[in-house]
Structure 1
Amino acid sequence: MTDAPPPVDLRTDVPHPARVYDFYLGGKDHFGADREFGRKILSLCPQLRPLALANRRFLARSVGVLARDYGVRQFLDLGTGLPTSPNLHEVAQGAAPESRVVYVDNDPIVLVHARALLTSRPEGSTDYVDSDVVDIDRIMHQAARTLDFSQPVAVSALALFHFLPDPAPADLLARLRDRLAPGSFLTISHVLPALREVADAYQGAMGLGTLRGKDEITALFGDFELLDPGLVDPYLWRPDLAPQEVAPTEELAGLGASAVARKPTN
């Protein structure tokens, strides 16, 4: 690991966004306060659990496409969250064992579990950078131990930017896009304004929650060119790749948006 884990007060008596998300996904790294808050959210919006699962499956499909169809061998994951199999490196190295992956998060709870993200295949490598996602200089400096930024890198930011207020996402992505090599990729997923009640609940409990419409999310990609099918609901991004897992359902329509875009090569 790039940084040694500091002592951590897990504060199990209050809900935590990474642990609540783990609860939605059916994981085991959460506590009573997380379950209580998660159940409250699901009572407001039962679709949030299948939306979280759809988002996770979007990650697997998009990483698989980039590794298999575009030859990407370097991945940078911003706002990693708690390990949930399949993790990004498992998908990437399943398609191309030599893939190199760097995870980034500054959440001490995630850092405690980060060693589960470092189970690389011997042909490739994984690393974890303890950093705020807005500190692009630190991220790229630390990640350069594993990644070669003179070559294409696929950057993912899934279920991240709706936790950051404006103008942080636009500012950090503008700096990041400028420093990525041509042919690099950017993958984003984000909730939509239809989840206003959910966002208000997160804001009240954790001080988190920023909703953006599709035009605002599209703007985060800058001059990167969206891959087909563009900005769509997570379950509608290339569902043909895993039809047994991705059954389009109207109950999730308009709740989230996902896309993959490429930096022009000329």
Structure 2
Amino acid sequence: MSLTPLTNKDAKWIIAEFIETLSNTNLSNGVIHQTVRKVLESINLFRETKIDRKDIEIFLKTYVGDKPRRGKRYKSMWDFAIITKWAEITFDTKDKLTLQRRALILTMIFGALRPAELERMRSETTIFKDNSIQTQERTKTSGGEIVKVIIRKHPNPRIDAVEALQRWMDYVKTTFKCENVWFDTEGSRPANLQKIKEELRAILRENEIPETFTAYSIRLAVITHSARQEGADWKAINAYARWAPGSRVAQEYYTVLPVQDTNWILETI
């Protein structure tokens, strides 16, 4: 016996009942939005006629209401120049721990990478050319597509991510002989995400940046720094951070203004 396929109308009633069930829990609108969106995107895998993303958003607004907008994670931000000064001071290091930390933070800064993206880096997909590094990453949005991330040489060799990463990976090839890029240098095993965050936070603490700021704040500090430059090019900033050309994420969530009479903090807003 063959089954009659569900019509779009029937499917919407089923999803509406599913949403009503979720709404009777303590879940926030934001979590409900995310859950329903994932369900509908999964359904798309089995449909010949795909559900348009705009239709999904309209459906969610109709049955759930607008997703609450999140505010800025930080009301203040530390000065990006602190880390570039630290990188310059530690340029001649032979210490393996500092060698890796320099490569980690400079790669994150000039590649606009998130800590999780750093963890996924592999030597076989990290290619060095004369004036750049090319690696691959899976995007956070747009279905997680694979994109190329290109990091170009910096005119100041003391804060050059290409040079720092090359030195570190040369050490890795002769010491660890593994496809991973980052390691727990004490235990000589590949570094997981938690370890990578620990190493990045250690750099922040070494430079007296308060514990309020996490490893992810490095990305926010760089984007804030870029946005504060005279004649900031938002299209270029979005391209650097791998956001859509018209995205307003940087303006709305990442940037704050400078404050006077402090060494590290940017203005509370």
TM-score normalized by the length of structure 2: 0.27
Larger Rg: 2
Larger helix fraction of residues = 2
